[in-house]
Chains A and B, each alone.
Chain A
Amino acid sequence: MEDCLAKKMEITVSEAEKRTGRNAMNMQETYTAYLIETRAVEPQSEGQCAPVDSLWRRYSEFELLRNYLSVTYPHIVVPPLPEKRADFVWHKLSADNMDPDFVERRRIGLENFLLRVASHPVLCQDKIFYSFLTQEGGWKEMVNETGFQLKADSRLKALNATFRVKNPDKRFTELKHYSDELQSVISHLLRVRARVADRLYGVYKVHGNYGRVFSEWSAIEKEMGDGLQSAGHHMDVYAASIDDILEEEEHYADQLKEYLFYAEALRAVCRKHELMQYDLEMAAQDLTSKKQQCEELATGTVRTFSLKGMTSKLFGQETPEQREAKIKVLEEQIQEGEEQLKSKNLEGRDFVKSAWADIERFKEQKNHDLKEALINYAVMQISMCKKGIQVWTNAKECFSKM
Chain B
Amino acid sequence: MPHPLATSSSEEMGPGLTPSPDLLLPRSIADKDLSLPNGTPVDTSSPASSSSLLNRLQLDDDLDGETRDLFVTVDDPKKHVCTMETYITYRVTTKTTRAEFDLPEYSVRRRYQDFDWLRNKLEESQPTHLIPPLPEKFVVKGVVDRFSEEFVETRRKALDKFLKRITDHPVLSFNEHFNVFLTAKDLNAYKKQGMALLSKVGESVKYVTGGYKLRSRPLEFAAIGEYLDTFSLKLGTIDRIAQRIIKEQLEYLVELREYGPVYSTWGGLEVELSEPLEGVSACIGNCCTALEELSEDMTEDFLPVLREYILYSESMKNVLKKRDQVQAEYEAKLEAVALKKEDRPKVPTDVEKCQDRVECFNADLKADMERWQNNKRQDFRQLLMGMADKNIQYYEKCLTAWESIIPLLQDKPETK
A378–B255 touching, CB < 8 Å: no
Q: Cβ of B249 and Cβ of A374 under 8 Å apart?
A: no
A386 interface residue (CB < 8 Å to B): yes
- CB closest chain-B residue, reference A185: B266
Whether a CB of chain A sits under 8 angstroms from the CB of B190 is no
Bound-state CA distance A229–B255 (Å) is 34
Given the interface pairs A192-B262, A193-B259, the reply to whether A399 lies near B384 with Cβ below 8 Å is yes
* B302: Cβ under 8 A from any A Cβ: no
CB within 8 Å for A367 and B272 given contacts A210-B238, A400-B381: yes
Given contacts A220-B227, A382-B399, contact A402 B377 (CB under 8 A): yes
Partner of B409 from A182, A199, A378 at Cβ < 8 Å: A378
Q: Is the CB of A385 within 8 A of B266?
A: no
- Is there contact, CB below 8 Å, between B384 and A231? yes
Please pick, from B231, B248, B277, the residue contacting A203 in the complex, using a CB distance under 8 A.
Answer: B248
- Pair B392/A389 contact, Cβ less than 8 Å: yes
User: Could you tell me if B269 and A178 are in contact, using CB atoms closer than 8 angstroms?
Assistant: yes
Query: What distance in Å separates the Cβ of A229 from its nearest Cβ neighbour in chain B?
Result: 13
Q: Which residues of A contact B402 (CB under 8 A)?
A: 378, 381-382, 385
B residues in contact with A182, CB < 8 Å: 266, 269
Q: Which of B248, B258, B385, B396 contacts A389 (CB 8 A)?
A: B396
- B8 nearest CB across to chain A (Å): 27
Pairwise interchain contact A206-B409, C-beta atoms closer than 8 A = no
A209 contacts partner chain B, Cβ-Cβ < 8 Å: yes
Q: In this assembly, does B115 line the interface, its C-beta being within 8 Å of a C-beta of chain A?
A: no
Interface string of A192-234 (1 = CB under 8 A from B): 1101101110110011011001001100100110010001000
**A400 vs B245: C-alpha distance when bound (angstroms):** 23
Q: Which residue of B lies closest to A368 (CB)?
A: B272
A15 and B276 alpha carbons, distance in the complex (Å): 36
Which among A181, A186, A227, A389 has the greatest number of chain B C-beta atoms within 10 A? Answer: A389
Interface size class of B (residues with CB under 8 A): 35 or more
For the complex, is B103 an interface residue (Cβ under 8 Å from A)? Answer: no
Contact string, B160-187, partner A, CB cutoff 8 A, digits 1/0? 0000000000000000000000000000
Chain A residues in 8 Å Cβ range of B270: 367
Question: Closest residue to A235 on the B side, CB-wise?
Answer: B241
CB <8 Å contact, B259 and A378: no
A344-402 contacts to B (CB < 8 Å): 367, 370-371, 374-375, 377-379, 381-382, 385-386, 388-389, 392-393, 395-396, 399-400, 402
Residues in A whose Cβ lies below 8 Å from that of B392: 388-389, 392-393, 396
User: Could you give, for residues 12-29 of chain B, a 1 whenever the CB lies within 8 Å of some chain A CB and a 0 otherwise?
Assistant: 000000000000000000
Within 8 A of A (CB), among B193-245: 227, 230-231, 234, 237-238, 241, 244-245
A389 to B270, alpha carbons, bound, how many Å? 35
Given the known A-B contacts A206-B244, A385-B399, are A192 and B377 also in contact in the complex, defined by CB atoms under 8 Å?
no
Name the one of A202, A223, A224 contacting B251, with C-beta atoms under 8 angstroms: A202
Contact for B385 among A196, A213, A386, A400, CB less than 8 A: A400
Whether A189 pairs with B398 at a CB distance below 8 angstroms is no
Known: A213-B238, A378-B405, A378-B406. A189 touches B399 (CB 8 A): no
Q: Are B238 and A374 in contact (CB under 8 A)?
A: no
Does A188 belong to the interface (CB within 8 Å)? yes
Q: Are the C-beta atoms of A199 and B262 separated by less than 8 Å? A: no
B389 at the interface (CB under 8 A from A): yes
Report whether A189 and B263 are in contact in the complex, using a CB–CB cutoff of 8 Å. yes
| B87 interface hit (Cβ, 8 Å) | no
Identity of the chain B residue whose Cβ is nearest the Cβ of A379 in the assembled complex: B406
- Is B234 within 8 A of A217, CB to CB? yes
What residues of A have a CB within 8 angstroms of the CB of B398 in the complex? 381, 385
From 46 to 75 in chain A, residues with beta carbon under 8 angstroms from any chain B beta carbon are none
Are A209 and B241 in touch, CB under 8 angstroms? yes
Residues of A within 8 A of B256 (CB): 196
* Bound Cα distance from A364 to B403, whole angstroms: 26
- Smallest Cβ-Cβ distance to A202: which chain B residue: B248
Distance from A191 Cβ to chain B, minimum over Cβ atoms (Å): 9
Q: B147: CB under 8 A from chain A?
A: no
Contact residue among B249, B277, B380, B406 (Cβ-Cβ distance under 8 Å from A224): B380
Most chain B beta-carbon contacts within 10 A, residue among A210, A217, A371, A378: A378
User: Nearest chain-A residue to B378 (Cβ)?
Assistant: A402
Could you say which residues of chain A place their CB within 8 Å of the CB of B365?
Answer: none
CB distance from B43 to the nearest CB of A (A): 36
B336 within 8 A of A: no
Q: Is B395 an interface residue (CB 8 A)?
A: yes
B403 in contact with A185 (CB, 8 Å): no
Q: Measured between C-beta atoms, what is the minimum distance from B268 to chain A in Å? A: 9
What B residues does A379 contact at CB under 8 A? 406
A385–B405 alpha-carbon span in the complex (Å): 15
Q: In the complex, which residues of chain B have a beta carbon less than 8 angstroms from the beta carbon of A231?
A: 384
0/1 interface trace, chain B 317-340, chain A, CB 8 Å (1 if under): 000000000000000000000000
With A195-B255, A402-B381 known as contacts, the answer to whether A392 contacts B262 (CB < 8 A) is: no
Over the window 365-406 of chain B, the binary record of Cβ atoms lying under 8 Å from chain A Cβ atoms (1 yes, 0 no) is: 000000000000100110011001101101110110011011
Q: Does B265 contact A (CB under 8 A)?
A: yes
CB < 8 Å neighbour of B234 from A203, A213, A378, A396: A213
Which of B237, B251, B395 meets A199, CB within 8 Å? Answer: B251
Given A185-B265, A213-B238, A374-B276, verify A196-B255 contact (CB < 8 Å): yes
Knowing A185-B265, A192-B259, A382-B402, the reply to whether A388 touches B391 (Cβ < 8 A) is yes
Known contacts A195-B255, A196-B256, A370-B273; 15 additional CB pairs below 8 A are A186-B266, A199-B254, A202-B252, A210-B238, A217-B230, A220-B230, A224-B377, A227-B381, A371-B410, A374-B277, A388-B392, A392-B395, A396-B389, A399-B385, A402-B380
What are 22 A-to-B residue pairs whose CB atoms are below 8 Å?
Answer: A182-B266, A186-B266, A188-B262, A188-B265, A189-B262, A196-B259, A203-B245, A203-B248, A206-B244, A213-B237, A216-B234, A220-B230, A224-B381, A367-B273, A371-B410, A378-B405, A378-B409, A381-B402, A385-B399, A386-B395, A399-B384, A402-B380
The 3 A-B residue pairs with the shortest CB-CB distance in the complex, in nearest-first order: A396-B388, A199-B252, A385-B399
